[in-house]
Each structure stands twice: as structure tokens, then as C-alpha cells.
A and B are shown apart, each in its own frame.
Chain A
Amino acid sequence: MATVQQLSDEFADIQKKLQDVIEARQRLDAQYSENKAVQKEFATLDADANIYKLIGPTLIKQDKDEATMNVNKRLDFIEKEIKRIEGQIKDFSETSEKKKAEIMQIQMEQQGQAQPT
């Protein structure tokens, strides 16, 4: 049977992973809203508006249709990523809860044994 030490190490590990995916989720959220804002902005522009894309240190002129398509594609991708990360968050929280319960269980048992003195 695993010791409390091992279990709590595993628990800490899962917590760390959970933290990481939550941060990833927040970053995706931020990117999503930024892209949404750009999409909204593009929708209000005239078809012949001058759009430039920053590539490295240079601004490259881009077609409006192309730019709109690009942003839509990015939004699609981010949506999928968010779904994927959501799944991970769920998995990690479940395993973390399970580990926590295991640790509690063992601690209770140990306390029960230590009690009669």
C-alpha cells in the first residue's frame, strides 16, 4: 500500500498540473476575446479597407477577405483548444479529488491506530 508521503507527492503533482491547465485555459480565454474583438472590427470595415499584418518587424498588406478568414480560422482553433483543455481540467480535478480522499482515508486510519495510548 502506498504511504502517505507517496500519495501526497502524487497529489501535489496533480495539483501542479491542474494549475498549469487552468492557466492555459485563461490564456486561451484572453486570446479568444482578443480575436473576437478583431473579428468584430473587421466586420465593420469597408471591403477596400487597408489591413496590415505584423510579421516580425514588418507590416504586410493583406486582403480583407484573407484577414477575416484567418481570424475565423484562429477562433475555430481556439474554441477546439478550449474544449480540449476543459476536458483536461475535468480529468485532473477528478483525480485530484480521488487522491485527496485516499490521503484522508489513510490519515484517519493512522489516527485511529495512534489513538489508544
Chain B
Amino acid sequence: MSKMPASKQQTVDLSSLSIQNLSSVKKQLDEELEHLTASFQKLRTAQAKFRECVKAIQNGVNPEVEGKTILIPLTQSLYVPGKLEDTNTVLVDVGTGYYVEKTTTKAIEFYNEKTKTVGSNLDDLEKIITQKTQNAKVVEDVLRQKVLAANSTSSTS
């Protein structure tokens, strides 16, 4: 689950750090940001999938389809005709290889709940990402100033 960033716990004066230290801090922040944005994307896709499941149940599994012939995808491009035996219950993948039989209403509830949880995780993550981006920017600014200062007073020591 999402963790709060470890920074901000102790305050370090950035201007007291050396160029080397600063650039490693910057690098670390960049790596964290990359990781977080990747997670953000993955959560987005997961959320979209849950929403799709809800839609699939609403459109595909209801009493209206009872008795009607539907096409069942065996692969992405191969379909066979079939009929739904039972339009009341569906099997839901709850994770780690377990499937639970649920009524369509319960299943929709389940997916909506999932969408909501993922949504709140997304919100948290977004906050962390903005915070981190800001941190990275500040570090970059200080780093640039340091480099400039070092260049203008070069050939010391």
C-alpha cells in the first residue's frame, strides 16, 4: 500500500550539502518519482478494468439476455455461439487464485468497492507525487546554484 514519503521527517539545509551529495539526492528523488508514476499508471489501468467488469455485468448478464444466443470469445478473434444458463450469478476473481460465486448485484457492489479503494489510493499517490516533484525541483534549483557558484570561483583549493 502507499506509504508516506520518508523525507520531511528531518530537515536538512540543502545549501549545506555538497554538489555530489545534492546530485545523488536528486537522482534518488528522480528514481522514486519514476517508480511512483509507474505505479500510478498501473492503478489507473486496474481501475479501468474494474469499471469494465461492472459494465460487462450490467450489459451482458441480466434477465434480458436469458434464452438469447450470445457469442462467447474463445480467443480474441474466435467466437462460438452459446446461451447463458444462469443470469443471476457470476464468478468473481477475488485474487490469489480464489473465485467466489456472487449474485450480479453483489458482484457490481464488489467491483464498485474496488474502484473506490483504488480511487482513494490514486488520490493519495497523486498527492505524494506532487510533493516529490516539488522536492525534486527545489533540490535541482539548489544544485544549479551550487554548480554555477563553483564554476565562477573555480580553481580554488
Report A38-63 residues with CB < 8 Å from chain B CB: 38, 41-42, 45, 49-55, 59, 62
Contact B96 A38 (CB under 8 A): yes
Which one, A5-13, A29-37, A106-114, is touching chain B?
A29-37
Contact A67 B98 (CB under 8 A): yes
Q: Is the interface of B mostly helix, strand, loop or mixed?
A: strand
Inter-subunit contact A52/B95 (CB<8 Å): no
A74 at the interface (CB under 8 A from B): yes
Q: Is B1 an interface residue (CB 8 A)?
A: yes
Q: With an 8 A cutoff between CB atoms, is A71 at the interface? A: yes
If A33-B1, A50-B101, A52-B101 touch, whether A41 touches B96 (CB-CB below 8 Å) is no
In the assembled complex, which residues on chain B have CB atoms less than 8 Å from the CB atom of A51?
98-101
A59 to B99, CA, bound (A): 8
A38 near B99 with CB under 8 A, answer no
Q: State whether A74 touches B96 (Cβ < 8 A).
A: yes
Q: How far is the CA of A37 from the CA of B118 in the complex (A)?
A: 12
Q: Considering the complex, give the chain A residue whose CB is closest to the CB of B101.
A: A50
The answer to whether B81 has its CB under 8 Å from any CB of chain A is no
B98 touches A38 (CB 8 A): yes
5 other contacts beyond A37-B94, A38-B98, A71-B96, with CB at 8 A cut-off? Answer: A35-B96, A38-B94, A53-B97, A62-B98, A71-B98
